Amino acid sequence: MAAGKGYSAWAKLGHQGSDPVAPGSFGGWIKMRKPPGAYPTTDIQHKIGAGGRAMGVACKGKSGAEFRKCRHENVFHK
């Protein structure tokens, strides 16, 4: 569990109504779910990541039109 939380991020809590006399049948219900499985990274995701890293190195410290030109050269032409 994450720090500060009383339940898992993958738990579905039951709903409870606002009427204290008849709060509803799902008030104390918790359904535990397993987290989604990993999926393989696609080729385009690898290319986008590599372009972003190259841009981060080449364009560091630039701003304005200079940054846009650097970004265009490093991301869109690789």
pLDDT at residue 1, rounded to an integer: 44
DSSP states of 15-27 as a string?
P--S-SSS--TTT
How far is 74 from 13, CA to CA, in rounded Å?
A: 47
Would you kindly state where each structural domain of the chain is located, as residue ranges? Answer: 43-75
pLDDT at residue 67, rounded to an integer: 93
pTM attached to this predicted model: 0.46
pLDDT at residue 11, rounded to an integer: 76
Helix (H) or strand (E) holding 43: helix 43-58
pLDDT at residue 23, rounded to an integer: 62
- Cα of first residue to Cα of last residue in the chain, in angstroms, is 42
pLDDT at residue 5, rounded to an integer: 54
Query: Own/partner pairs for 17-20, CB < 8 Å, 24+ apart?
Result: none
- pLDDT tens, residue by residue, 43-66: 999 988 888 898 999 999 999 999
For 50, list phi and psi in degrees, rounded to 5: -65, -40
